[in-house]
Each structure stands twice: as C-alpha cells, then as structure tokens.
Amino acid sequence: MRLLGWLLSVSLLFPATMRGVKFVRGKNYARVILRLSSPVKYEVGKIKRKGKTLLYVDLYGTNPGRVKSRYYFESNLIELVRIARKDMKRERAVIHLRNFSYYRVFYLPSPPRVVIDIFGKKEIKEEFTLSKQLGLKIKKIAIDPGHGGKDPGCINERLGLREKDIALDIALTLKELLENGGYQVILTRKNDSYLSLEERPAIANSEGADLFISIHVNWAKRSSARGIEAFYLNFATDSESERVAAKENETSSKSLSQLKGILKKIALNEKVRESKALSSFIQRGIVSNMKKFYKGIKDLGVKGAPFFVLVGAEMPATLIEVSFLSNSVEGKRLSTQIYRTRLAYGIYLGIENFVKSLEEK
C-alpha cells in the first residue's frame, strides 16, 4: 500500500508533457504524431470557424511541454498545428485543415503518442473494399527494413550480427529484384537511420503504395527455436505470436492489451483477409525457395498478431520474420550474402504469385 501511494504521488508530481510534433505527408494523406512523456487521456472534436474546419485533440492531466506553439507544414490537407493550454487541466493540439474527407485518431504506447491520420477527398471516393483491392493493379511496393539507427533490433554478439543490418541488406536486394520485375519500390529507410514504428506505414500511405512489406529477424530464448514465419495485423491467437509482437513492438504485455482497443477503432475487416493472403503467398515463396538449397527449413506458418508497425497501413501489409538470429545454424546462414539473397528472392516470388492471384480473379 505504501508503494502504491508513493507511485500515485509521483504521478501527480510528474504529469505527462508533450515532447514534440512529427509530421508525415503525401499527396492526399497526412499523419500528425503528438509525442508524449507518458500515457494520457485524450478527447477529439471538430470546430467550424470562418468556413474552415479545425480538428482538436485535448490531452488531459498534462504539464506545458517545451514545444513550439505553431507548426507549419507544406501539405494540401493541413495548414498548421497549434499547441496551447486550454486550461489548467489540459493541453490542446489544434489542426487547421485545408480540406479532408475523413480522419482517425488513435493512441500508441511505448513510447506514448497520439496519432492523427488525415485523408484527402480522393481517398473517400471508394472504400477500401475487398473487391477494389482484388482488382487493384499492383505497381508500387513499400519495403520496410526493420529497426535502424539507435534501434539495432536483436543482436548475436558472438557472430557480430545485428537485425537492423540484415533487414536492410535483404530489403536492398528485394528492391533490386522488384525493380527489375517492373515494380516501383519505396524504402522506408535506405541506410542505418532511425524511424519510429508509426512513421513507417505513414510513409507507405503518403507514397500511395499498393503493398507494405516489413522485414525482420527473429529471436528466442530457446536456442533451438528456428524457422520462417509471416504475420498480418490482427489479434494474436497464441502466446508465441504475442512474444514476437512484443519483441518488435518493444513494449510490455500491458501495452499489447491496450492495442486491442486500437484494433477495434481501426477498420480492419476485409483488409485482414488481403493481408493474410499476401502473408501466405510470401511465406510459401520463402519456404519453398529456401528448401531448394538448405536442409531443416522449418515453416512456422502465417499468423495474426498486434504489430504497431502495421497499424494504419492503407494497403495489404505483412511482417516477415525471415529466420532466428538466436539459432546457431540460422545465425551462421544469416551471416552469408547468399542466404540473405535467397531470402529476398523468396519474398519476391511470393509477391509475384500474390499479384498473379489478383489478376486471375
């Protein structure tokens, strides 16, 4: 009880503060990210003023943060974002909209942030239905090399390997394969730079990508764990999927439980089916290709799990765990260029087969 009382007193002495505002934009899409020091309650509303729409997000129980009062952005959707104290109990972020069709606001933990997605009028002409997606001509593919910069991902110190380097190398090879196949490719990062999880799908959205592929390397406490698996955004149905999601989210089980509320607020419905199909084709492409060259390739299958990096993607999206860096055999294989190239080619085969399946419908 004394400990609980101490924690409550600390939370009163040190309420949340706003740490900054980030912005990602595209031709018909924009994402505003309100970075916070700790979790907050928030409320969303709209105001009409002089023919313009102002979208506001009230953050309750916050102290004034060391942020600018105004953020101007070069966007056809957003004119500016104002930060101001509404009263002693709340801070308000006001987004001045130039035009929009719809928006969504959601909270992501670890680190705490409130995300605001704004969609332009062209996006609302057709809903993202299964029939539309199945008739979609896949032209532009976003590849997301996991981790980067200050976030190395998992590390095998004995082999001197880091997840961020392996993921980038596979992504660069995959980019070349896809471009040779006639696709336009977007990389969320081209070098050893850091990107937050919410920025990655925002880049894909802003560039109008048709698919989103996030590449990662797996790790487990059991050194015997091995295999290849693919994930799409959904609720986890087993503890192992939750473990992988927690690793990539770098968050606690409590934060994972909070994500269930996020998933309810975000329209998944038919996009889940498309993302599951994409994940299945890529999983089969990698496994079948690797089995041609290596013994003991284990197919761990396709699963739904709550990955923050897939939240908000407006296209079929998948996260691939290509092998276990914690496994002695797969770790050594990951250290070789030929193994990473064959993994990239397996992903490419999966994408090609997914595209063909759409064209046949």
- 214 or 76, which is more confident? 214
Residue 90 has pLDDT above 80, yes or no: yes
Lowest mean pLDDT of 75-84, 262-271, 299-308, name the range: 262-271
d(CA 322, CA 308): 19
Mean pLDDT, residues 17-26 = 86
- 269 or 15, which is more confident? 15
Provide the token pair at 125.
């002409």
Q: Does pTM surpass 0.75? A: no
Q: Cβ atoms within 10 A of the Cβ of 211, count?
A: 26
Q: What is the DSSP string of 286-344?
A: HHHHHHTT-S---EEEEEEE--GGGTT-SS-EEEEEEEETTSHHHHHHHTSHHHHHHHH
Single out the residue of 67, 324, 23 nearest to residue 203, CA to CA: 23
Contacts of 226 (CB under 8 A, 6+ apart): 296, 298, 323, 324, 327, 329, 330
- 203 or 236, which is more confident? 203
Q: Work out the mean pLDDT of the chain and round it to a whole number.
A: 84
Q: Which amino acid is at 72?
A: Y
Q: What is the pLDDT of residue 44?
A: 92
Mean pLDDT, residues 311-333 = 94
d(CA 169, CA 164): 9
Lowest mean pLDDT of 60-64, 173-177, 212-216, name the range: 60-64
Q: What is the pLDDT of residue 234?
A: 79
Contact of 213 with 283, CB cutoff 8 Å: no
Mean pLDDT, residues 317-339 = 97
Domains assigned to the chain? 13-124 (2.60.40.3500), 130-359 (3.40.630.40)
Q: What confidence tens digit (pLDDT) does each residue in 242-257 have?
A: 566 666 665 433 454 5
Residue 150 has pLDDT above 80, yes or no: yes
